[in-house]
Structure 1
């Protein structure tokens, strides 16, 4: 999988397409919650298998953290370590911007996955778009 930092409208549309397929179609998140006011200023990443967009994420900088958001991989491509690859790419962008801490709100079913790549749970469970989440952080230094 090739991961690109979105630099044009086609790549951004591809990232949004993956997010809609995973979050809106598959997980039934209302589109008005999925595509929000932070998308215009966030850094977006998109992963391609050949010409096909198969992974996406966005990154913002909030309260001293690089905040990983909207991380998703299409159902057909899961189990190929694409999630780890896009997170590594996001962590590199965080470092490039001079930050040394990462934060994310993980769906609870993915908590063990994030723990396996160094994230620690720092909150109790809460609902986001009706889905149970926890906040997790990682030192990148």
Structure 2
């Protein structure tokens, strides 16, 4: 497995394709909510397995914190550690940028995944794109 920062249009297109397949195709998120205005300002990550794009994530910077989002791994590669590796890549990028923590708006169905990686929930559950979410944070 190899994870890199997205630097060119082909990698960007591959990352968007993964997001559309997972969030729009599998979960029914409207495409206009998935690909949004924040993409232009984010750091994007692409995970490859045997050279094939299979996962992605993005990180926004807000008030001295990294905001991890749009973490998506293709179904056939789930359970391989790819998601955790993407989270660690985002955390490393946040550390390099001097950010003090990483926050995320997790789907409640995957809350335990983030808890295993050291994230703690805060605030109340809410609904985003018709899916229950909770805010989580990890100090760096």
Distance in structure 1 (CA, Å) of the matches to 2:28 and 2:52: 23
C-alpha distance in 2 between matches for 1:97 and 1:77: 29
Taking only aligned residues, the RMSD between alpha carbons, in angstroms, comes to 0.7
**Residue 66 of structure 1: aligned partner:** 66
| Structure 1 runs, 4 residues or longer, greater than 2 Å off | none
- Give the aligned length: 140
Q: TM-score, normalised by structure 1?
A: 0.97
Aligned partners of 1:85 and 1:93: how far apart in 2? 12
Give unmatched runs, 5+ long, in structure 1.
none
Deviations 1:60-103 (A, max 9, x none): 00122100010010111000011100000000000111112110
Give the whole-Å Cα distance in 2 for the aligned partners of 1:105 and 1:134. 6
| Deviation at residue 52 of structure 1 after TM alignment | 1.4
Q: Which runs of 5+ in 2 are unaligned?
A: none
Looking at structure 1, the residues matched to 51 and 24 of structure 2 have their Cα atoms a distance apart, in angstroms, of 22
Q: What are the residue-to-residue correspondences of 1:1-141 with 2, within 5 Å?
A: 1-140=1-140
Q: What CA distance in whole angstroms lies between the structure 1 residues aligned with 2:121 and 2:10?
A: 35
- TM-score in terms of structure 2 length: 0.98
* Structure 1 residue 119, shift from structure 2 partner: 0.2
Cα distance in 2 for partners of 1:66, 1:110 equals 19
